[in-house]
Structure 1
Amino acid sequence: MRTTDERLDTWFSLTHIQSEINEQLEQVLQQKYGLSLKEFYVLYFISQTDDKELRLQQLQEKIGLSQSATSRLVARMEAETCGALERHMCENDRRGIYTGITERGEMKLRGALETFDEVLQEKLLNKGLKTVMESLVAELG
């Protein structure tokens, strides 16, 4: 039977691996596309919807930020310097605000997805981290 200390050590190992990968993704996405990891997530989640838009509240829940932090993030992504999103009011409920991905946002996302995949491929497969992570997850179970 595993002790609490062993489970904690396993958990810390997993979070350390995730943190390292997140840091590299953040750095590469910022350098190549001027996107933070959270901004990448925003574009990705919106792109996965049928109409390429989400209510700000839905987006907030998906990316795990507060309402004000989500609004600031979306505002930065709407600004001319980024231009990846556009916001509009819901026609049925004037209190509802939607944000949708622009053509410029879709272009950034396409490139960023390729880069994201390359980083994960290099980190998980080439470094053997996938096997390590799978065994760590199995240890937690």
Structure 2
Amino acid sequence: MSSEQTLLNTWLSFTRIHAELANELDRMLQARHQTALNEFYVLLFLSKTPEKKLRLLELQQLVGLSQSAMSRLSVRMENKSCGVIQRLGYEDDRRGVCAIITDLGEIRLQEILSTVNETLEKSLKNNDIDTALKLFVHAKKQNTGE
């Protein structure tokens, strides 16, 4: 098999693994917490910053959403999710909006993290995913000469 074909197969394996894991995480978060995977990402990224806040533009890039999708998501999380985040304008830029994780958001994140960790542990033990990961690592080593 050519190195180009190996690279393509590696990429396809990687994207399949990612899609399967993301779908399973989303399904579990919806079932247990009525939370979407992107909502989890917002809470996680906010909690990891020293000030517990980010501009929506930064969140948009981290989560991988369009500007309008991020705006809608943040409004939903501020309202629907009982205030797990708060949206504020910046004093120095009246057009800029930032999101801050609230105390309730931090508590909710900890509850969600247990489900995320449990789901990842279970999913990564799945034989199909385990085999695909091994093939991915093997192909990577072949391509880098390790």
| Structure-2 residue corresponding to 1:127 | 126
What residue is the counterpart of 2:4 in the other structure? 4
Paired position in structure 1 for 2:108: 108
Aligned-residue offset at 1:24: 0.7
Q: Does the 8 Å contact 2:46/2:101 carry over to 1?
A: yes
Separation of aligned partners in 1, 2:22 and 2:94: 37
| CA distance in 2: counterparts of 1:14 and 1:133, whole angstroms | 8
Pairing 1:1-141 to 2, within 5 Å after superposition: 2-124=2-124, 126-127=125-126, 129-130=129-130, 132-140=132-140, 141=143
What are structure 1's unaligned runs of at least 5 residues?
none
Identify the range of structure 1 (114-123 vs 92-101) with the bigger mean alpha-carbon deviation.
Answer: 92-101
Stretch of structure 1 that moved more, 131-140 or 86-95: 131-140
| Residues 24-78 of structure 1 deviation map (CA, whole Å, 9 limit, x = unaligned) | 1000011111111111101100000011110111111111111111100101101
Which amino acid in structure 2 is aligned with residue 88 of structure 1?
A: L
- C-alpha distance 121-81 of structure 1, shift in aligned 2 (>3 A): closer
Q: Secondary structure at the match of 2:54?
A: strand
Q: Which amino acid aligns with 1:4?
A: E
**How many residues are aligned here?**
140
One-letter amino acid matched to 1:85: I
CA–CA distance in structure 2, aligned partners of residues 14 and 80 of structure 1? 34
Instruction: Provide TM-score, normalisation by structure 2.
Output: 0.85
Runs of at least 4 residues off by over 3 Å: 128-132
Scaled by the length of structure 1, the TM-score of the pair is 0.88
Could you tell me which amino acid in structure 1 is paired with residue 123 of structure 2? K
The residue type equivalent to 1:127 in the other structure is: N
Per mean C-alpha deviation after superposition, the further-off stretch among 130-139 and 42-51 is 130-139
SS in 1 for 2:24: helix
Q: Which runs of 5+ in 2 are unaligned?
A: none
SS, match of residue 65 in structure 1: coil
- Using the alignment, how far apart are the partners of 1:41 and 1:15 within structure 2? 19
**Aligned partner letter, 1:123:** S
Q: How much identity, in percent, do the aligned residues show?
A: 41
Question: Conserved in 1, the CA contact under 8 Å of 2:17 and 2:132?
Answer: no
